[in-house]
Amino acid sequence: MSPGAGPPAAAGFTPPPYPYERLRELTARAVARFGSGGVVDCSIGTPGDPPPADVLAALASSGTERGYPTSPGSPAYRAAAAGWLHRRFGVSVDPELEVAACVGTKEFVASTAQYLHLRTPDRDTVLYPAVSYPTYAMGAALAGCRAVAVAERSTGGPDLASIDDGDAARALVLWTNSPSNPTGMLTDLDAVAGWGRSHGVPVFSDECYAEFTWDGPPRSILESGSDGVVAVHSLSKRSNLAGVRAGFYAGDPGLVGYLLDMRRHGGLMVPGPVQAAAAVALADDDHVVEQRRRYRDRLQFLSGVLGAAGLPVSLPAGGFYLWVPVPASMHGSASGPAGGWVVAEALALGAGLLVSPGEFYGPDGAGFVRVAVVQSMERLELVAERLAGTDLSAVAVGSRQPSAP
Ligand SMILES: Cc1ncc(COP(=O)(O)O)c(C=O)c1O
């Protein structure tokens, strides 16, 4: 969404097409060529590996089905989240005052601006990374607010000096995401927290990929203290539990307490059996060690396969995505969105590999595709076989250029 974008009051708001719906046509063409079992879907970051068995057992045996669950999360859930934060990042938070549950983090990302705007109606701006998960900007639209993209430094993280003073004065929130989806870059979270504190802007740090940090130890914004900041975490990626919807947010007690109240009034509740299962998952680290190994192996393998096929890509500093630049030869005269779509089409129709065109993550991502290594090594080997001897960078732009919807 471009700076200043938001629902025009007179026209009313029309939701844009959901990004992955836009891959439907290309998916159908790949299925026509390779069969539905032959397509290797690395377009969406949905985990493909199993969650721990004891977590599934807890889901089925909690005995919590009859009563309403507590909206902020059971004491066990909040204590498990606080315990994990302490083990992983060495930070101490009060489970009652500084931690609360959310129904997976997407709904939290999408709804937080709306609640912050109700509390501070004279502020109307959401600052978010220019190349990012689309829900930060959508949260601004859903709140009737302005979404202002913050340029990113080439090494990762926001270019804080580039934020306009007027936008900072109007900001309800600055979103940051490290490791980043889609770029895999890391952010200097201390610097971002410092900027937020000195400008009076709450910083919400989406850390759902923290367990998959490859360069150095995992980092949380809470390492700089909880004043004015909230860390957002998810069980979806850490424990392959995207289907059960469990996450939490932790940090500044004023922000957490306000959001917890608003969300309770709004009826947002993590189901009781899910809370029980999430507490078990948060208490265990062994399954994460195993998952980390899987992603690391696949990132290495697939980056080699793509490089050999004319799509060189660096390994990410974190996360489980390859952020693949479109080779200059494939940009053609039609720069802009087409570059990523050309590569996405070439991979889908040449190798049955579905990836996301980078413009799903903002206009600055147009010259990239994102590949999620969520498929098994066996499936990735199938892609390698199909790509053997191919030079995708030689694919001509023009006749093969798909219509970017
Ligand atoms: C950066 C980022 N934040 C949040 C989410 C939402 O995850 P969930 O709602 O499953 O917790 C995702 C999912 O892909 C993501 O990539």
**Ligand 1 atom at minimum distance from 133 CA:** 1
Asked if pLDDT for residue 7 goes beyond 60, the answer is no
Is the model's pLDDT at 6 over the cut of 80? Answer: no
For the CA of 44, the nearest atom of ligand 1:
14
pLDDT of 2 = 47
Beta strands 171-177; 125-129: pairing state: parallel
Q: Which residues contact 323 (CB under 8 A, 6 or more apart)?
A: 182, 183, 184, 313, 316, 358, 368, 370
Distance 104 CA to ligand 1 centre (A): 8
pLDDT above 80 (res 287): yes
104 Cβ inside 6 Å of ligand 1: yes
* H and E: helices and strands count for the chain: 14, 12
pLDDT band per the 50, 70, 90 thresholds, residue 62: very high
Q: Is 399 a residue whose pLDDT tops 50?
A: no
pLDDT the model gives residue 216: 97
Ligand 1 mean position, distance from CA 401 (Å): 31
pLDDT 10s digits, 71-115: 999 999 999 999 999 999 999 999 999 999 999 999 999 999 999
Residue to mutate, 103, 208, 240, ligand 1, most ligand atoms under 8 Å from C-beta? 208
Higher pLDDT, 79 or 396: 79
Confidence bin at 397 (pLDDT 50/70/90)? low
**CB contact set of 153 (below 8 Å; sequence gap of 6+):** 159
Question: Which amino acid, 88?
Answer: R
Q: Which helix (H) or strand (E) holds 140?
A: helix 135-142
CA dihedral for 189, 226, 81, 43, sign (positive or negative): negative
Q: The tokens 């089409």 sit on which residue?
A: 345
Q: Is 170 in the pocket of ligand 1 (CB under 6 A)?
A: no
Q: What is the Å distance from ligand 1's center to 261 Cα?
A: 23
* Cβ–Cβ < 8 Å for 184, 317: yes
The mean per-residue pLDDT over the stretch 193-208 comes to 98
Q: What is the dihedral of CA 60, 61, 66, 71, to 10 degrees?
A: -80
pLDDT at 398: 47
- Write out pLDDT tens, residues 172-188: 999 999 999 999 999 99
Q: How confident is the model at residue 393 (pLDDT cuts 50, 70, 90)?
A: confident
What percent of the chain is predicted at pLDDT more than 70? 93
Sign of CA dihedral 196, 197, 198, 199: positive
**Distance of alpha carbon 180 from alpha carbon 318, whole angstroms:** 7
What is the rounded average pLDDT of the residues 353-382? 96
Distance 392 CA to ligand 1 centre (A): 31
Q: Pick the residue whose CA is nearest to atom 12 on ligand 1.
A: 106
Q: pTM for this one?
A: 0.94
Which pairing describes strands 229-234 and 247-251: parallel, antiparallel, or unpaired?
A: antiparallel
- The candidate with the shortest Cα–Cα distance to 241, out of 101, 46, 44, is 46
Q: Which helix (H) or strand (E) holds 205?
A: strand 203-206
Please tell me the residue having the least CA distance from ligand 1 atom 2.
Answer: 133
Is the pLDDT score of 204 beyond 70?
yes
The pLDDT value given to residue 333:
46
Question: Is the pLDDT assigned to residue 258 strictly greater than 80?
Answer: yes
Contacts of 299 (CB under 8 A, 6+ apart): 315, 316, 320, 322, 373
| Cα 106 to ligand 1 centre (Å) | 5
pLDDT one-digit tens code per residue, 24-45: 999 999 999 999 999 999 999 9
For a ligand 1 pocket test, name from 44, 105, 178 the mutation site with the most ligand atoms within 8 angstroms of its C-beta.
105
Instruction: Kindly indicate the confidence band of residue 11, based on its pLDDT and cuts at 50, 70 and 90.
Output: confident
DSSP code per residue over 80-127:
HHHHHHHHHH-----TTTSEEEESSHHHHHHHHHHHHHHH-TT--EEE
Cα 258 to ligand 1 centroid, rounded to whole Å:
22
The average confidence (pLDDT) of the chain is 93
> Which of 236, 241, 245, 370 best tests ligand 1's pocket when mutated (most atoms within 8 Å of CB)?
236
Task: Say if residue 341's pLDDT is above 70.
Answer: yes
Q: Per-residue confidence at 5, pLDDT binned at 50, 70, 90?
A: low
C-alpha dihedral, 291 to 44 to 221 to 152, nearest 10°: 130
Give per-residue pLDDT as tens, 213-240: 999 999 999 999 999 999 999 999 999 9
d(CA 58, CA 274): 8
- Residue-wise pLDDT for 119-133, tens only, equals 999 999 999 999 999
Q: Whose CA is nearest to atom 5 of ligand 1?
A: 106
Q: Which of 202, 195, 290, 204 is nearest to 239 (CA)?
A: 290
